[in-house]
């Protein structure tokens, strides 16, 4: 089936050619156009000033769109004035590039206290109402939307689950251990069936300075917390581990936000464990329990899943928002069946870390397992993966896909059938199906569907498709699905440094005659990674995040005449039938 299958009268797209890494443009296929929806610094909350790169303040940044967006979702449900042409978007703001955002920034000295505080205000999430004038026009945001909201480094988060209130969660500012200010380094995420958004706190280690801190048990080291830091302790001493040793334990969680209610307090769910959370995506089990799939994005780290104790109740949002507060936590083990069958495939098992409210890990309590989840998993023999990024179930079929972005440190002695390439520069994608296709099952079958790279490289694999007919692709990061059950979309982060092209977004059908035919749909400007794709293919509508344009070199994105690039959300749409 052609990509246009099921959408009568709409043309499939003509794949774009690979874009050289220095091209400063958002390249879309013939017949499509694009427009920025919202960019860093655009006013979001009531009273926010217009963006002015030369007059950045903490107070204005708290009310303006945050920096580098990764996860993105569109909501049309809820109580607002929604419909086909109205809704809201939520996107997170993973990190900042101070050397790009502040004119005259001194990279040797690092940020001033005020610059660090502006960076704190530019982290978190942004929620804005959007509308469009019909199918062949772009989404635009409403700076006066009633549900517009910024979540930043001083927004209050409730900490729930078994590790909430633990001794090591208490700080001088929060003697309860249940109230954290801010969320940091939110990478990918997912929508829940009950209308909220999940987002993962990923590389939270970088904000903390561990100079002089005691690490006898290796807990800081296992999470990459060093003396490097980003200078944020100049703004607030909670980022100095020696001064406030427990603050670092309050980051590295999955957060849940209700974007429909701008007065709601977001939650950090400790039941889903603490690691460098890429994101979390939900599928309901056969018995109605909520299952969250999660990756820990580090070389040689693991894939996890959480299974809620309680079950989903259609229409009861308040109840459903408690589902991620209590449940079982598992980590994945992949076993190959040998390469004699010509496939990288086999069976897998979910190893319990927490089950029925009890710890399955010798010498660790439930709360300890959830807080130092990496160290708990290390004891249980899961498979060390090539940087697990986005993990998402196909909502139509239940098959689960994980993007393993790369791992150049894997040696030939360390390869296994699920991570089969030494010095894996280009990454791969694994598909698995749970036993009985039940998300709560404890066993699964798996196979590799993509081994990325330039197709002339014999180590690449495109699910059996003819290599000479596909687009080069490197460093898969986010995966997404649309209305077509066979459509797997992959966006990338790392192509410039590995195959010399701009990052972008690709379609790779998972079934049918085009199975494995990787076709590039778009590319993002130089230095940027392509994130958060939201594909509404029946409308040929694609929302993306253009993250860190100009990170290496210069970009003028979104080409509105500013002296610095402004990361943000773009809409790609078809200009005519």
Pick the closest to residue 552 from 529, 530, 526 (CA basis).
526
CB of residue 488 to ligand FEO, shortest distance in Å: 18
CB of residue 352 to Ca ion, shortest distance in Å: 26
Pick the closest to residue 148 from 263, 318, 267 (CA basis).
263
**Containing H/E element for 118?**
helix 113-122
Non-local CB neighbours of 129 within 8 Å, separated by 6+ positions: 80, 86, 87, 88, 141, 142, 145, 146, 147, 148
Q: Residues 513 to 532: which contact ligand FEO by CB under 6 A?
A: none
Q: Which two tokens stand for residue 48?
A: 């926010």
Residue closer to ligand FEO, measured from CB, 204 or 506? 204
Which residue's Cβ has the minimum distance to Ca ion? 493
Residue closer to Ca ion, measured from CB, 106 or 341? 341
Whether the CB-CB separation of 548 and 528 falls below 8 Å is answered with yes
Non-local CB neighbours of 106 within 8 Å, separated by 6+ positions: none
With CB under 5 to 8 Å by kind, the binding choice for 343 among Ca ion, ligand FEO, none is Ca ion
Of 278, 296, 503, 539, which lies in the binding site for ligand FEO, with binding defined by CB under 6 A?
Answer: 278
CB of residue 264 to ligand FEO, shortest distance in Å: 25
477 near Ca ion, judged by CB under 5 A: yes
Residue closer to Ca ion, measured from CB, 282 or 307? 282
296 near ligand FEO, judged by CB under 6 A: no
Of 26, 73, 187, 329, which lies in the binding site for ligand FEO, with binding defined by CB under 6 A?
Answer: 187
DSSP state of 239: G
With CB under 5 to 8 Å by kind, the binding choice for 341 among ligand FEO, Ca ion, none is Ca ion
* Calpha distance 53→102 (Å, rounded): 7
In 10 A of CB 218, how many CB atoms?
10
* Calpha distance 541→534 (Å, rounded): 8
Pick the closest to residue 187 from 279, 301, 249 (CA basis).
279
CB of residue 460 to ligand FEO, shortest distance in Å: 22
With CB under 5 to 8 Å by kind, the binding choice for 482 among Ca ion, ligand FEO, none is none
Of 202, 328, 345, 368, which lies in the binding site for ligand FEO, with binding defined by CB under 6 A?
Answer: 202
Can you list the alpha helix ranges (DSSP code H) found in 275-396? 317-320, 366-371, 373-378
Residue closer to ligand FEO, measured from CB, 36 or 532? 532
CB of residue 475 to ligand FEO, shortest distance in Å: 10
In 10 A of CB 443, how many CB atoms?
11
CB of residue 364 to ligand FEO, shortest distance in Å: 26
482 near ligand FEO, judged by CB under 6 A: no
**Which phi and psi (to 5°) does residue 113 adopt?**
-60, -40
With CB under 5 to 8 Å by kind, the binding choice for 202 among Ca ion, ligand FEO, none is ligand FEO
Distances (CA, A) of 454 to 186, 418, 425, 462, 468: 30, 20, 11, 11, 10
389 near ligand FEO, judged by CB under 6 A: yes
Tell me whether residue 318 is exposed, middle or buried, using C-beta atoms within 10 angstroms of its C-beta: 0 to 12, 13 to 18, 19 or more: exposed
Residue closer to Ca ion, measured from CB, 258 or 389? 389
Q: Which residue has the tokens 């229409």?
A: 315
Q: Residues 326 to 365: which contact Ca ion by CB under 5 A?
A: 337, 341, 343, 345
User: Of 52-60, 365-373, 389-397, 434-442, which segment contacts Ca ion by CB under 5 A?
Assistant: 389-397
Q: Residues 44 to 73: which contact ligand FEO by CB under 6 A?
A: 70
Pick the closest to residue 329 from 299, 312, 309 (CA basis).
309
493 near Ca ion, judged by CB under 5 A: yes
Total residues at interface with ligand FEO (CB under 6 A): 8
Q: Residues 414 to 433: which contact Ca ion by CB under 5 A?
A: none
In 10 A of CB 552, how many CB atoms?
13
Residue closer to ligand FEO, measured from CB, 174 or 202? 202
**Pattern 279-298, binding to Ca ion, x per CB under 5 A?**
--------------------
With CB under 5 to 8 Å by kind, the binding choice for 244 among ligand FEO, Ca ion, none is none
Whether the CB-CB separation of 257 and 197 falls below 8 Å is answered with yes
Residue closer to ligand FEO, measured from CB, 202 or 258? 202
Interacting residues toward Ca ion by CB under 5 A: 187, 337, 341, 343, 345, 389, 477, 493
Interacting residues toward ligand FEO by CB under 6 A: 70, 94, 187, 202, 278, 297, 389, 477
């Amino acid at each position: 089936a052609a990509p246009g299958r099921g959408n009568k009268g709409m043309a499939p797209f003509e794949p774009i050619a690979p874009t050289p890494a220095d091209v400063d443009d958002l390249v879309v296929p013939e017949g499509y156009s694009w427009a920025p929806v919202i960019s860093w610094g655009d006013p979001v909350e009531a009273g926010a000033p217009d963006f002015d790169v030369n007059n950045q303040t903490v107070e204005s940044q708290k009310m303006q769109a945050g920096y580098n967006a990764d996860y993105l979702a569109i909501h049309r449900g809820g109580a607002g004035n929604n419909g086909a042409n109205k809704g809201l978007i939520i996107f997170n703001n993973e990190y900042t590039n101070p050397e790009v955002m502040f004119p005259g920034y001194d990279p040797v000295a690092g940020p001033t206290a005020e610059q660090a505080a502006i960076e704190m205000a530019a982290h978190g999430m942004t929620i804005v109402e959007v509308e469009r004038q019909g199918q062949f026009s772009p989404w635009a945001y409403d700076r006066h939307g009633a549900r517009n909201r910024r979540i930043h480094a001083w927004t209050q988060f409730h900490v729930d689950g078994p590790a909430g209130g633990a001794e090591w969660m208490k700080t001088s500012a929060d003697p309860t251990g249940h109230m954290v200010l801010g969320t940091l380094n939110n990478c990918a995420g997912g929508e829940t069936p009950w209308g909220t958004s999940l987002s993962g706190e990923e590389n939270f280690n970088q904000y903390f300075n561990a100079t002089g801190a005691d690490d006898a048990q290796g807990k800081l080291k296992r999470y990459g917390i060093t003396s490097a830091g980003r200078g944020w302790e100049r703004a607030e001493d909670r980022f100095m581990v020696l001064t406030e040793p427990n603050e670092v334990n309050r980051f590295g969680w999955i957060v849940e936000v209700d974007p429909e209610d701008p007065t709601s307090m977001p939650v950090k769910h400790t039941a889903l464990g603490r690691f460098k959370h890429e994101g979390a995506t939900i599928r309901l089990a056969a018995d109605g329990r909520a299952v969250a799939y999660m990756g820990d994005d580090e070389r040689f780290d693991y894939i996890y899943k959480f299974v809620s104790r309680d079950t989903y109740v259609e229409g009861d949002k308040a109840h459903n928002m408690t589902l991620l507060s209590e449940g079982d936590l598992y980590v994945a083990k992949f076993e190959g069946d040998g390469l004699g069958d010509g496939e990288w495939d086999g069976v897998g098992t979910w190893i319990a870390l927490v089950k029925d409210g009890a710890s399955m890990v010798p010498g660790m309590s439930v709360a300890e397992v959830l807080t130092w989840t990496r160290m708990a998993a290390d004891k249980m023999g899961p498979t060390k993966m090539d940087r697990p990024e986005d993990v998402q179930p196909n909502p139509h079929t239940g098959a689960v896909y994980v993007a393993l972005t790369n791992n150049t440190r894997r040696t030939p002695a360390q390869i296994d059938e699920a991570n089969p390439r030494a010095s894996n520069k280009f990454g791969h994608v694994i598909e698995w199906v749970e036993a009985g296709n039940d998300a709560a099952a404890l066993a699964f079958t798996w196979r590799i569907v993509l081994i990325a790279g330039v197709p002339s490289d014999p180590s690449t694999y495109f699910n059996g498709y003819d290599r000479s007919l596909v687009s080069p692709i490197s460093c898969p990061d986010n995966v997404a699905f649309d209305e077509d059950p066979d459509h797997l979309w992959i966006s990338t982060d790392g192509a410039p440094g590995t195959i010399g092209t701009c990052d972008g977004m690709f379609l790779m059908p998972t079934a049918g005659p085009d199975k494995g035919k990787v076709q590039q749909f778009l590319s993002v400007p130089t230095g940027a990674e392509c994130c958060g794709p939201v594909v509404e293919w029946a409308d040929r509508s694609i929302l993306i995040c253009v993250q860190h344009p100009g990170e290496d070199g210069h970009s003028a994105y979104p080409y509105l005449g500013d002296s610095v690039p402004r990361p943000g959300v773009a809409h790609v749409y078809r200009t005519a039938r």
